[in-house]
Amino acid sequence: MDVIANLGRSSLNILRGMGAALIMLLQSIIGKPQPRKSFPLFMRQMYVVGVQSMLIILISGLFIGMVLGLQGYTILVDFGAEQALGPMVALSLLRELGPVVTALLFAGRAGSALTAEIGLMRATEQLSSLEMMAVDPLRRVVSPRFWAGFISMPMLALLFTAVGILGGYFVGVQWLGVDDGAFWSVMQASVDWRDDVMNGVIKSLVFAFVVTWIALYKGYTAEPTSEGISAATTSTVVTGSLAVLGFDFVLTAIMFS
């Protein structure tokens, strides 16, 4: 009986948490737009969340692309199909690795930073302070960070994909000697704009939404102590990554089956 009661209690807690997270999100993004105030805040967060994540995204994209080139070549060359290296690299990146790996890296780099920053603002009473100054911390702190995360991550995923394809090109064509023209033309012929590119972008929009939302909620509700903040940061990375992988399966099943 205890097991069932505990199961029920923890499901209720999870539901309650999701409800609270939804309310937080709605309160922060719904309301009279004040572009003159919020645009500079948004741009600043685009820099912090987006631009500052670029280096890790570029480097990871390059390496993943190079590994794909190597692995793909050794598999394809056995079948004499090394001309298919172009589409193999491009499709893996566009459909899967671009959105997913970017989201995982984003959760670790920007998500954890968002959680820690907001948790620290809670712990040092900056959020309460805003409230007492009659400034809504959800609109002021959470909202620009949400939009910045939501918008910058799909852009990072495209960057990741582009650099990854270049990495695959360097290894496959420049190093292992796959034919240059074939690499690009077979890729162009087999990549479909709607099925591959758009579906990848939709995936990364969903991941961006989920990861940013989790990071902000975990920070906003972090226990205002150092243990609380570090637990919230860890939880952002763990929950965010699991959510990305879970949604990836669901979306892949819907899109490509």
- Cα 32 versus chain centre, distance: 28
CB of 151 to another protein, least distance (A): 20
Taking CB under 8 A as the rule, does residue 34 contact another protein? Answer: no
Long-range contacts of 18-24 (CB under 8 A, 24+ apart): 20/217, 20/221, 21/213, 21/214, 21/217, 24/138, 24/142, 24/216, 24/217, 24/220
CB of 205 to another protein, least distance (A): 28
C-alpha pair distances (Å), 83 with each of 72, 161, 190: 10, 20, 12
Tokens 């899109």, residue?
255
CB of 135 to another protein, least distance (A): 6
Between CA 165 and CA 159 the distance in angstroms is 10
Q: Mask 96-135, x = binds another protein (CB under 8 A)?
A: ------------------------xx--xxx-xx-xxxxx
Q: Mask 131-170, x = binds another protein (CB under 8 A)?
A: xxxxxx----------------------------------
Residue 204 three-state SS? helix
Q: Which is nearer to another protein, 3 or 133 (CB)?
A: 133
Q: Which is nearer to another protein, 95 or 139 (CB)?
A: 139
CB environment 99-137: b (16+ within 10 A), e (fewer) = bbbbbbbbbbbbbbbbbbbbbbbbbeeebeebeeeeeeb
Between CA 120 and CA 156 the distance in angstroms is 26
Q: Mask 62-101, x = binds another protein (CB under 8 A)?
A: ----------------------------------------
Taking CB under 8 A as the rule, does residue 250 contact another protein? Answer: no
Cβ within 8 Å of residue 73, ≥6 positions away:
82, 85, 171, 172, 176, 178
CB of 126 to another protein, least distance (A): 5
Q: Which is nearer to another protein, 10 or 129 (CB)?
A: 129
CB of 36 to another protein, least distance (A): 11
CB of 212 to another protein, least distance (A): 19
C-alpha pair distances (Å), 107 with each of 36, 85, 102, 214: 29, 30, 8, 9
Q: Which is nearer to another protein, 120 or 176 (CB)?
A: 120
How many residues sit close enough to another protein to count as binding (CB under 8 A)?
Answer: 13
List of residues contacting another protein (CB under 8 A): 120-121, 124-126, 128-129, 131-136
